[in-house]
Amino acid sequence: MKYDIKLNFTILFVFAIMFATIVINPSGIKAQESLDLNAESAILVDFDTGKILYSKNPDATIPPASMTKMMTEYLVLEAIQNGEISWDTTTEISDYAYSISANDAFSGVGLKQDQPYTVKELYEAMAINSDNATTIALAELIAGSEGEFVKLMNQKAEEMGLSEFEFVNSTGLDNADLAGNHPEGTDSDDLNLLSARSTALLAYNLVHDFPEVLDTSSIPETEFADQSIRNWNWMLPHEASFLEQFFYEGVDGLKTGYTESGGNSFAGTAIRNGNRLITVVMKTDSKEERFEETAKLLDYGFKNFQTQELFAEGYQLDGKSTLPVQKGKEDTVKVSLGDAISVPIKSEDAEQYSIEYVIDQDKLNEDGELTAPIEKGEVVGTVNLVFEGENDYGYIISKNSSSVPLVTEDGVEKANWFMLTLGAIGDFFANIFTSAVDWIKGLFS
C-alpha cells in the first residue's frame, strides 16, 4: 500500500512539473524555432510570396560548387527563349571542355571531340548529372568563350538583385583546379561565391521564369549517348535501395554541389498541396547530411506554415478610411486595400500582424489633401503588412505580397467654377472673421 501511495505521488509530481512547464513557458509546446541545422548557412523560402520562413547565417558567402550551374541553366534557357539557340542546335567540344571531360578528377559523361552534341543533350548532362564539361561547352556556345559567359553571369546576377555573389566560371569548380584554364578575366585562385540568400533568389528566379527547368531537374536517371547518367539529388525517387532513405515526397529539384572549399551543399525545391518551398543548405559535412538537413527545413515549412488571407481586398483601417479632397464635389474620398494580403504564417502568429498606410506624398498638396478630379480605383499609396512578433526574416524578393496598393473606392469630380468661387469667397470671409476675432481677443487679453 505504501508503494502505491509513493507511485501515485510520483505520477502526480511529474504531471505537476509538466503542467508548470507549459504554463510558465508556453513556447515549449510550439514548433521549435531553432532547427539546429548541421549546415554553416541555410534558408527556407515560400515560393509564391517570396517570404523567408527560416534562415541561418543567410548572408555568409561560401563557394556554392555546382549550384553555380543554376545560373548557367538560366542563361541557356534565356538564350533559347530569345531564339539565339534551340534545343536542336549542335556544337562540338573544344579542347578545353574535352580536357575537363577526360580528367578523372571530374566525374563526367566522357565527351568526344569527333561528334556534335545537341543543346538538349548537353543541358540534360549538366542539369541531371552535374557534368562540368557539358556546362563549359554550353557557355562557349552562347558567349564564344567561358570568360565572356562569366560576364553574362555576373550581369544577370545584378539584374536579379543577388546581394552576395561572384561568378568566376560556369561550373562551380575552383579556378585552382582548372590547370591554368581559368576563364579570361579571372585569377587562378578565384572562387565562385554565393550566400544562401542569393542562392535561394537565383533558384527562385530560375523556377519562376523557366518552370520547365523542373521537368529536367526531377529526372532521377536518363540516357546520355550510350550510357546511363544519374541525378545527384538523392531526394528524388531513385531505384537504388540505399537511396530510399533520402526520398522526400514532392521534391523535384534543383541542384547539388560539392567542392573541398565549399563542402556539400544543396538547393532544393518541393511542392505539396500546391505549396512550393525553396531550400538552401551550404557547407554540410557529407553528401548525406545535405539531404537530411534539407528534409528538416521542408518538414518545418510544410508542417508549421499555412497561407492565410489576413486582410481582404477592400479592407479599411479604423480611423483612416478617408482622405481629404481639395476642389472636389466631395470633401473626402474613401480609401481601402486594392488587393488582399495573404502570406504563409504560423496559426498562433495571426494576431501579431497589422497594416500601415504609406500615402504617396506626390499625390498630396501642402495641406495634405488630394486634388480633384480623382478616379475610382486610383492608387494613392501602399499598404504594408507589419509583423510585431519575433523572427521576422523578411522576403527574398523586393516585390512581395505583404505590400499592396491603397486605392480610392469612389471617384470625385472636380467642383464647377461657380462652386469653387463660392468656396473661395467663403474662405476669404472666414479668414477675415477669424482675424477679427483674434484682434478683439488681443485687445482684451
In the predicted model, is pLDDT for residue 121 greater than 60?
A: yes
- 304-324 pLDDT, tens digit each: 999 999 999 999 999 999 999
Q: Is the preceding peptide bond at 373 cis, omega within 30 degrees of 0? A: yes
- Write down the H helix ranges in 39-178: 69-81, 95-102, 119-129, 132-143, 146-160
- 371-395 pLDDT, tens digit each: 999 999 999 999 999 998 887 899 9
- 80-116 pLDDT, tens digit each: 999 999 999 999 999 999 999 998 888 789 999 989 9
In the predicted model, is pLDDT for residue 13 greater than 80?
A: no
Catalytic residue numbers, as ranges = 66, 69, 130
Residue range 12-41: average pLDDT? Answer: 54
pTM of the full structure: 0.83
Cα Rg, the chain, nearest whole Å = 30
Q: Whole-angstrom Cα distance, residue 81 to residue 332?
A: 49
The Cα-based distances of 8 to 5, 11, 21, 78 in angstroms read 5, 5, 20, 71
Report the pLDDT value the prediction gives residue 428, as an integer from 0 to 100: 53
Between residues 241 and 299, the one the model is more confident about: 299
